[in-house]
Copies of this chain bind each other. A is one copy, B any other.
Amino acid sequence: MGINERKEREKEELHKSILTAAREVFLEKGFDQTSIRSIAQKIEYSPTTIYLYYKDKDAILYALHTEGFYLLGSKMEVLNSVENPFERIKAMGRVYIQFAMDHPDYYDLMFVQKSPMNKLDEDHDVWREGQTTFDGLKFSVAQCIEQGYLPFNDVEAGSYLLWATLHGMCNLYDRGRCKVLDEEKSEQIVDLAFAEFLKMLDAFGN
């Protein structure tokens, strides 16, 4: 009899629908407004039911953070066809910025919020999602160094520098720190600064 199988399916479905509801609330109302109670209301269950499927709120946020990395990964994937590693690096930068602009909430969860990182210390100690993405960057940076496009001594330090540069631009923008600029300029500052950045890199690449 497949009763147990059906029950297992139903459990999985509720598990999924909790995450779906969480995603909807998160994308509609933002990080701050994503509460256990608001998720529960969306699926028409009591708040405590959620704790039967997720250990705590951080576990849900971690799952959403993972979704974000899959989304970013899918955008990065198409760049595998770029043969020249230096062109690939530059394109990765553009994709990264575009992602941060298109999905600021996902971006925040992936690279700024401390909540998802709490889960790491508890169970699996390694940040798989971030690791995979960073490895992709390192691979291209190593190629760039080999082929004389970038002047770094240390692959990891150089990769971190590139990552941090883009992250800094996106994060300062997202957190309203562009108010130090004219209103018109602050709107496009990330693109402008990225252009200056590319110019710096090109001075090495050519």
- A residues bordering B, Cβ < 8 Å? 111-114, 117, 120, 126-127, 130-131, 134, 151-154, 156-158, 160-161, 163-169, 171-172, 175-181, 185, 189, 192-193, 195-197, 199-200, 203-204
Identity of the chain B residue whose Cβ is nearest the Cβ of A178 in the assembled complex: B160
A182 to B204, CA, bound (A): 28
Given A192-B154, A192-B157, verify A168-B163 contact (CB < 8 Å): yes
Would you call A151 and B192 a contact (CB within 8 A)? no
- Taking A156-B181, A160-B181 as known contacts, 18 extra A-B pairs with beta carbons closer than 8 A to each other, sorted by chain A number, are A111-B172, A111-B177, A112-B175, A117-B175, A117-B177, A127-B180, A151-B199, A151-B200, A152-B196, A152-B199, A156-B189, A161-B196, A161-B197, A163-B168, A163-B172, A165-B168, A167-B171, A200-B200
Instruction: Quote the shortest CB–CB distance from A161 to chain B (angstroms).
Output: 4
Residues of B within 8 A of A160 (CB): 169, 172, 178, 181, 189, 192-193
A153 to B200, CA, bound (A): 11
A-B contact pairs, 11 of them (CB 8 A): A117-B176, A127-B177, A127-B179, A151-B200, A156-B181, A158-B193, A164-B168, A164-B172, A168-B168, A200-B204, A203-B203
One complex includes copies of this chain to the number of: 2
Would you call A164 and B165 a contact (CB within 8 A)? yes
Residues of B within 8 A of A204 (CB): 200, 203
Residues of B within 8 A of A192 (CB): 154, 156-157, 160
Would you call B120 and A193 a contact (CB within 8 A)? no
A189 to B180, CA, bound (A): 28
Identity of the chain B residue whose Cβ is nearest the Cβ of A32 in the assembled complex: B114
Identity of the chain B residue whose Cβ is nearest the Cβ of A182 in the assembled complex: B156
Would you call A195 and B157 a contact (CB within 8 A)? yes
Instruction: Quote the shortest CB–CB distance from A100 to chain B (angstroms).
Output: 12
Would you call A151 and B203 a contact (CB within 8 A)? yes
